[in-house]
Amino acid sequence: MASTSKFKIRPLRWNDFDDYCKIWRSLQEELDKDPRLTMGRYKERADWEFLITGFSDLYREIKARSAKSLVLEADGHVVGLCSIRLSGSTHAQHTADLTYYVIKQYRGKGMGTELVKESLKDVPKKCEIITAGTHSNNKASIALLKKFGFKRVAFMPGFSKRGKTYLNVEEYYKKVK
């Protein structure tokens, strides 16, 4: 796995649960301040049931080879997470969804790029197409997707609703096989 003197990129481990929770809390704090950031859960709290279920589902998918999750580790802690998870839909089991998150203070150093680059190597065997959705205002996310050859295939005006605010959503697509 890729590493620099300060950062390391490695597969998610079972004992990363505490850091996984911290990542979710960090995302929620950001969303409270700026609901335009990601399309993740807005205003719903990530309670223990949500976190335990979310982590164990992801871990089970990794073990079943229907998901790949890499973490960005800095100073012994997970500060970023990138997952590629095969779709559960019967008609789309050859497709997977890509998500990524880097804790705010570690952004802008090329780490998101490294995390996605490593994640796109050796994707789950059945995966032929990867998709990713993002708010149109999320310039960093869009730059990242374009850098790895994702093409915009949908623009959905007002598809995301945060309180009374409607946000445009873009869907990106990459054929990997």
Ligand X SMILES: CC(C)(COP(=O)(O)OP(=O)(O)OC[C@H]1O[C@@H](n2cnc3c(N)ncnc32)[C@H](O)[C@@H]1OP(=O)(O)O)[C@@H](O)C(=O)NCCC(=O)NCCS
User: Which residue of 1, 52, 64, 143 would you call a contact of ligand X, by CB under 6 A?
Assistant: 143
Stretch that binds ligand X, among 2-10, 61-69, 136-144, 167-175 (CB under 6 A): 136-144
Look-up of token digits 């973490």: 71
By CB under 6 A, is residue 144 in contact with ligand X? yes
Pairwise CA distance, residues 154 & 25, whole Å: 30
- Residue 160: name the closest of 40, 43, 44, 24 by CA: 40
Using the rule CB under 6 A, is 113 a contact of ligand X? yes
Give the residue, chosen from 21, 46, 129, 140, that forms a contact with ligand X under the rule CB under 6 A. Answer: 140
Burial 131-147 (b: 16+ CB within 10 A, else e): bbbbbbebeebbebbee
d(CA 125, CA 108): 31
Choose which of 36, 109, 126, 174 interacts with ligand X (CB under 6 A). Answer: 109
Q: 161 has which bridge partners?
A: 166
**Chosen residue from 7, 100, 150, 172 binding ligand X by CB under 6 A:** 100
Give the residue among 162, 164, 138, 165 at the shortest CA–CA distance from 152.
138
Looking at beta carbons, which residue is closest to ligand X? 112
**Sole binder of ligand X in the list 83, 119, 136, 141 (CB under 6 A):** 141
Nearer Cβ to ligand X (14/57) = 57
Q: Which is nearer to ligand X, 37 or 123 (CB)?
A: 37
Smallest separation (angstroms) from ligand X to the CB of 35: 12
- Decide: is 102 part of the binding site for ligand X (CB under 6 A): yes
Q: Does 147 bind ligand X (CB under 6 A)?
A: yes
Point out which residues bind ligand X (CB under 6 A): 37-39, 99-102, 107-113, 134, 138-141, 143-144, 147
